[in-house]
A and B are shown apart, each in its own frame.
Chain A
Amino acid sequence: MAYSEKVIEHYNNPRNVGTLDKSASNVGTGLVGAPECGDVMRLQIEVDDATGIIKDAKFKTFGCGSAIASSSVATEWLKGKSIDQAITIDNMDIVEELNLPPVKIHCSVLAEDAIKAAINDYRVKNGMPALELEEKIVH
């Protein structure tokens, strides 16, 4: 299967690979997996306590090119957004950005799940209730 140029570009030059201090109160960590393909993705956000803006985002993904590219794009988009804006990032935006073929849509869902998990981790750490997440159906 041919990957789009954008996927290849992100795969070769992934943005924001790395780790943030997961014990810090202003860092939210999302750890998600796609058991069918054995992928595992960790996405972290660092929030500016005063403004509520995400000032840094990092990821580490072990999986296929599309999963890496999806999380790379996600971290780029997260930086500079508020938590409330970040929660609205939809997997279909990633699909569109990367031209993902239908069989790889689940990779973008994984990235969206990772964003939401990271935000919830941040919320819970800071005394806010976790957001109820809707189940995405992927086919």
Chain B
Amino acid sequence: MTRSLWGVGALALAAGLSAQAMAQDPVKVGFIYVGPIGDYGWSYQHDQGRLALEEHFGDAVETVYVENVAEGADAERVIRQLAAGGADIIFTTSFGFMNATVNVAQQFPDVKFEHATGYIRADNLSTYAARFYEGRMVAGHIAGRMTKTNVLGYIASFPIPEVIQGINAFMLEAQKVNPDVQLKIIWANTWYDPGKEADAARALIDQGADIISQHTDSPAPLQVAEERGVHGFGQASDMVQFAPNAQLTALVDNWDQYYIDRVQAVIDGTWQSQDTWGGMAAGMVELAPFNAEAIPADVLAEAEALAARIRAGEVHPFAGPIYNQAGELVVGEGEVLTDEQILTMDWYVQGIDDRLPN
């Protein structure tokens, strides 16, 4: 549908037509992505969510997206353009869009905004994120049980809480099942540079790592793992076609159901500002099918059981006792880290031989 028709929608809204009449018009949903949808990672998965909306609602929704939006002033311009163009709800899908989203939300009180991974909310601004660290726990279990060299490799992007949560959850569980395990971490200082990610994987494998975990977005590390005959975990998307032998499972972001629920709420008129932080139970974090060829049957069964217990809420990745690198008790037996503590995590658990970049 063209921009002029969007304008008509906005006019209708301004004229205050009855909700009945409005229901006839498709709901306009806007998305902005920080990367190209062709990154096959973060932005790609958000766009899969957009496509799921179109499939679920058919003609009842209309979606529009803008990709490759730089964080900062440009983002504000793009979001404002979407809002002025008559969007009913706008999803801004990167942490760095926070200030821009807040500013535009103030100017368009009738438009609903949803900001991914942020923490500022308003009456018309919700936030949402996923507990990716739950999936890391299962990966850590498989890695700890399967490694032959007892060296695990981890390609990290930036030292923000989300990434540190993943490293800690991975290592806590790996140590639990294999006390001799060692974790080597390389900070790539990028979310996305296939060549550098591949080089990091090569460096880790050269140093003895036989299982590679990554918190960067391209399938390049897995391709290297495939070539070198070691194993790894896919990130954000199921990357099995790049590494049919090497990928053990992948931590898949799945926004489909969340987007469908939120747009349904707009259609029903029940949308409210809220904070959503869903994990495996909510289906926001999924595990790609386990590689039964590579994972021994007993480990596979353990991993499946662990995933089921996380989904059921019986296991928490950050259940005490947890010690930090200095050997201080952070959370005691029988307790778990609070969401606040997880959201601000800036320390490594005991057993990680690395210093956090400042």
A binds B: no
A interface residues (Cβ-Cβ under 8 A, vs B): none
